Chain A
Amino acid sequence: MGSLFLQQVLNGLIIGSLYSLVAIGLTMIFGVMKIANFAQGDYCMVGAYVALFITAWFPGWMGWVGSLLAAAAVVGLLGIVTERLIFRPLLTRWTDIDIIMVSIGLFILLENLAQLLFGATPRMMPDPFGSSTVSIGPVSTSVLRIFCFAFSILTIAALQIFLNRSRMGVAIRATSQNRFAAQLMGIDINLVYLLTFALGTALAGIGGVLYGTLFAVYPLMGGMPTLKAFVVTILGGMGSIRGAIFGAFILGVAETLGGNYIAMEYKDAIGFSIIILVLLIRPTGLFGEKEGA
């Protein structure tokens, strides 16, 4: 019984690490630009397709690691293009509904475009570690899953260092806290917007490669990461990176344990139940702050 519990916690932590990458991107973009980007999961899908093609040309783990970097670059670039062409012009209007509708439109557009270009057939990327598994005491998992977990943690750590130690990171945090004050301090907030969007989407791109390698690559694969990222972001507090990290792991573990001990078919409903409970007690989410800026 204890071993099953440990196995489920491990499963939950691994899936939580994937949720966190996409959710951090979403929450960063929301925190800085106040954009609730419903197309976030579709940036994952683009990243997964980039990796699918790269790993087909360069099989093996080196090709796969290279595809993670390439996906971050390509999707980050796509993020820059969409930010400049689609979202930036709307930012001056300050009506949330425009931005939400445009992001939903972008999500439908990207999905349909992918279906047109690549077809609807799901494809699987080969396991770069040759499907090898590891058993630690009573629990077992694949080397790939451990690598995905470790890579997510490293990416999150690198992001934290960037946000806390670099000048641009501080500028992003300052804009997130109070964009007008940041502007008055001489921060180029347009550059901050661009960089935040690029970073947020690049994280989704990396998340997409991990999602695609663990699961499958297909045009509609972005729906689930988007949904989970929103659950995590609301749970942790909109705009809070710390909230997204903790929220993701809480959701991942709650889903696997809930699926095991309550009912498997309600696994996805568990996240929403937690949101309702958390919002009743803390309307700003676990780590969210009251709106002051």
Chain B
Amino acid sequence: MKKSRFSMLVLALVLCVSVCTYGTVFASDTIKIGILGPFTGSLAFNAGEMKKGMMLALDEVNAKGGLFGKKVELVFGDTECKPDKGLAAVKKLVTRDKVLVVGGGYCSSVNIATSEFCQFEECPVVVAIAISPTITNRGYDFVFRTSPNSPMFLEGINDWLAQVKKPKTVAFFMENSDYGRDGQKIWEAQCKKIGANVLARLYFEIGGTDFTSAISKLKNLNPDVVFNIASTTEAALIQKQAKELDYSTQWIGVGGQFTQAYFEMTGPISEYAMGSSLEPTKAMKDPVTAAFVNAFLKKYPGSRPGIFSSQGYDNLNVILEAVKGAGNPSGNLAKDRLKIQGVLAKTDMKLSQGKIKFGKDGQVYTVVPSVVQVQLDENCKPDTQIIFPTERAASEYQEPKPWSERKCK
């Protein structure tokens, strides 16, 4: 009896506290920013790269005393690259953690869903890495993206196909997701324009490991170019298995696969693979990019600052600048978010990826990727080299050789 009376008392107390605090506006003692990303699952290490860049930006701002005398706090939401998990994570960030703005974001299918939720809740979201055009082409005014979208990534490749490679036959071997299928649409339209015949359209599931069946089919068809939109692990496994099946072709991806992990996994067998890239180490002449690279190397000795770290760094810096521009948060979340959205729309700053200025649709159009090819140095060490457009090129395009004629295997 005593026990039950005590339980009732506790329950009443909890209820009382809940009722009293419901609807009350608290001024938080930190500036909370939500960050989405697949921090577990098969893309965890890519999201980890993005997180590294963000932690660098966070350290920089907090070292200067934070914003408005408050520390900036990042609240991470794990999407596992699954739309349902992403929605659960963003709902928690926006409604329970009450973040001012949501950043990060990897995997297009997830970000299409999470950005829709943010728009509905009128919480600004700044997508860092996902590149499907759908994210910013729905007329949503609370949705921004600091990364070029897939047409921008693929445009350079399109020009290169028309001016340099001029393939007669092509095949698609794509990740079965919005990322892969959107890219395919863009490249397929270009192939039609330049008169290249599409021999096959093959897809694989994210997390797949055995690609020998598809590679055997491609080998049999022997197209001049194989478009292969894949993330790091899958792209590396495809290269490895193509070698095992003695198949050599011109592989073209988006470029996001060219991470430190990719080169560690593939070694020289990734030679000749192509994509578009915004890799910061390729633009060291730019003082802002060089400053980022140096700061990154100081914080993470031995690491290579790749595209995702740089995109993460820029993404958080854009958000921080907007929060700063919107003024000290009043505690009224809806008003604060609206102010931040207004400032974000007017963003105009120079960061490690280049100038960040959003179009009316919230998409950044001022960051322009270059066409890169993996080439080997005299010690058979692979690295990407800009090969197109010619005015930015550091090296010339190399035609893929059959495996029997390659020096480094």
Contacts and interface: CB of A to CB of B under 8 A. Distances in A.
A265 B214 CA distance: 10
Interface in B69-117: none
Contacts of B403: 133
A124 B244 contact: no
A11 to B, nearest CB: 4
Interface of A is mostly: helix
Contact of A115 (B44, B204, B217, B245): B44
Given A131-B243, A224-B207, A224-B209, A264 B269 contact: no
Contacts of A263: 203
Contacts, number: 109
A107 to B, nearest CB: 14
B207 A265 contact: no
Nearest to B217: A260
A264 B203 contact: yes
A158 interface: no
Interface stretch (B21-29, B233-241, B271-279): B233-241
A220 B81 CA distance: 14
Contact of A215 (B40, B213, B237): B237
B284 interface: no
A11 B204 CA distance: 16
Contacts of A142: 243-245
B48 interface: yes
| Most chain A CB neighbours (cut-off 10 Å) among B212, B217, B264 | B212
B216 A4 contact: yes
Interface in A3-43: 3-4, 7-8, 11-12, 14-15
A22 B31 CA distance: 50
B195 interface: no
A141 B244 contact: yes
A23 B44 CA distance: 28
Interface in B158-178: 176
Contacts of A221: 209
A145 interface: yes
Interface in B220-234: 220, 232-233
Contact of A120 (B44, B212, B216, B220): B44
Nearest to A268: B205
B210 interface: yes
Contact of B265 (A123, A130, A223, A267): A123
Interface of A: 3-4, 7-8, 11-12, 14-15, 115, 119-124, 130-131, 133, 135, 140-142, 144-145, 211, 214-216, 218, 220-221, 223-224, 255-256, 259-260, 263-265, 267-268
21 contacts: A4-B216, A7-B245, A8-B216, A120-B44, A122-B261, A130-B409, A131-B243, A131-B409, A133-B243, A142-B243, A142-B245, A216-B236, A218-B233, A224-B209, A255-B213, A260-B216, A260-B217, A264-B202, A264-B217, A265-B204, A265-B205
Interface of B: 40-42, 44-45, 48, 176, 202-205, 207-210, 212-214, 216-217, 219-220, 232-233, 236-237, 240, 243-246, 261, 264-266, 269, 403, 409
